[in-house]
Amino acid sequence: MTDKCCFSIDGDLIIRSWNSSMEKLSYREAKDVVGNNVKGVFPLLCDDISRVFSDNRKRHLKDFRNICFMGTDLSADIRIIPARNKKGEIIEANVVLDNISGKCPLTKQLADSEKMVAIGKIASSLAHGVRNPLNAIKGAVVYLRERYGHESTLLEFSKIIYDEINKLDNFISVFLSSAKGDSKFIPLNLNEVLESIFTMIKPQAEMQGIQILRELSVLPLISADPFQIEQAVFNIINNAIEAMPAGGAIGIKTSLKREGDNDYAVIEISDTAGGISEKELRNLGDLSENPERNDRGFGIFLSREVIKAHRGKLLWESVRDRGTTFKIFLPVKESGQSE
């Protein structure tokens, strides 16, 4: 029984034991639960447990739903078994949960957190792996400039290589800080971020015959980490480019929207890639549920986590044979505006 989810309750409906499997299911340790009334943990079970004591017989609840502590996504077969003393009197009721199915929202949150930790470690390893040969190349460039300093053409191109190495080295430094969660929030002009991304994607877009349609509105500044936001937006746009190898169009526009008491700067990114299926759309950004599109899902997953960390939200919709649209909502600062 130790591998099953089980706990015991006395006649006053006080929880007396809570095994390790229950701890894993509920994300509550035994010390935080034992001694409390079951009403605070399993309110929907109170009547059935009381009947076991009053009717003096066990109960079996088939496919009992709403047992998740963080939502309503779990169901299980529940057996409530009376425990008697030598006189045959019921002193406790043992509750056993079998055939648990579904997913608890908190389980996914924790899994996503674990993924982010793993991604951070991988990012750090990759960045260090790139930086080592980069430093070797940089040293070789310095040697060539000193050894053949009289050749103007070599000096010109070695300077370009040296400058680009420094840019990449700086990118790695920022990337490592971001992977460690060292966010640097500053007043940020979203339109300027997009202009920078346009410069990066222009060569590939032109090569694939993809037209970039821009419609940038005047926006208030947002408080954000520039590197993280740029990468989050770039991931989505890059996915759109990769989805249209034979050409197409990507529409990118910004706007200001109010929802409730909050103002949001909104970036809308739409493509003409033909759309994605309802199943793919539902599982987009979920690495565990979408292995066949793991490349795209990974980028969306990272973008979504960055946007969530900025107290924003990422929404998407897709129409078959027409295309997919992503909307990024980011809360704005109250002061300042971007042109």
Query: 58-73, pLDDT tens digit by residue?
Result: 999 888 775 555 444 5
CA angle at residue 307 from 306 to 312, to 5 degrees?
Answer: 155
With a threshold of 0.85, does the pTM exceed it? no
Please check whether residue 8 is in contact with residue 17, taking contact to mean a CB–CB distance below 8 angstroms.
yes
How many helices (H) and strands (E) the chain has is answered by 9, 12
pLDDT, residue 336, reads 39
CA distance linking residue 331 with residue 307, whole number of Å? 10
> Which residue, of 54, 83, 102, is where some domain finishes?
102
Whether residues 206 and 284 fall in one domain: yes
pLDDT, residue 221, reads 92
Strand ranges, E, within 71-153: 74-84, 90-102
- Average pLDDT in the 90-107 region? 79
Place of tokens 């076991």: 52
pLDDT, residue 193, reads 94
The residue ranking higher by pLDDT, 335 or 294, is 294
Give me 60's structure tokens: 């079996």
Q: Which amino acid is at 239?
A: N
The percent of residues above 90 in pLDDT, for the chain, comes to 34
CATH code of the domain covering residue 118: 1.10.287.130
pLDDT, residue 286, reads 63
The region of weakest confidence among 61-65, 85-89, 250-254, 258-262 is: 61-65
Whether residues 249 and 276 fall in one domain: yes
Whether residues 246 and 295 fall in one domain: yes
CA distance linking residue 5 with residue 295, whole number of Å? 37
pLDDT, residue 177, reads 63
Range of the domain at 329: 186-338
- Average pLDDT in the 309-334 region? 88
- Beta-carbon contacts of 45 under 8 Å, excluding residues fewer than 6 positions away, are 38, 64, 78, 80, 95
> Which residue, of 36, 68, 102, is where some domain finishes?
102
Closest listed residue to residue 237, CA positions, set 208, 280, 278, 279: 208
